[in-house]
Amino acid sequence: MKFPAIKEHHLYNKAYRSSKRFFGRYICVYVLKDLHAKKLQREHPQNIVVNRFGISVSKKVGTAVKRNRAKRIIRAAYGEIKDALKKGFLIVVSAKPEIDGKLSTEITREMRYAMRKLDMFTDTDSGATGDR
């Protein structure tokens, strides 16, 4: 499933500079309030507020095959928890080189932990499963 993507380079830079951050073993998560959330809500066919999501994987992770696998795993992890998250944010996930060869369950657990630390779940017990 496609998620609303962050397409502008300046939004990635803004997220890196001035956002809430979480640095884990395998991923780094940056969360920033989306200033255009209301405009995007009006343009959305169902008139709902959504999060915009971006993934960054550098060549330090490995070959193209390894980078694409890392992106697939990150997308799947985000897909599992996206419904429980607060809406109207820019979320950027950056993969660390240690992600190479890790299982998707480990990445999902770390993303759930990161979102709980960044206070992104709508209620406090949504992120209770999958503790570190």
Q: Does residue 66 lie within any of the structural domains?
A: yes
- 9 and 45 in contact (C-beta within 8 Å)? no
Segment 98-130, tens digit of pLDDT: 999 999 999 999 999 999 999 999 875 555 555
Q: For residue 81, what are the domain limits?
A: 9-117
pLDDT value at position 132? Answer: 53
Looking at the chain, the whole-number percentage of residues with pLDDT higher than 70 is 92
Q: Does residue 125 lie within any of the structural domains?
A: no
- 99 and 27 in contact (C-beta within 8 Å)? yes
Segment 71-87, tens digit of pLDDT: 999 999 999 999 999 99
> Does position 64 have pLDDT exceeding 70, yes or no?
yes
Q: Does residue 127 lie within any of the structural domains?
A: no
What's the pTM?
0.87
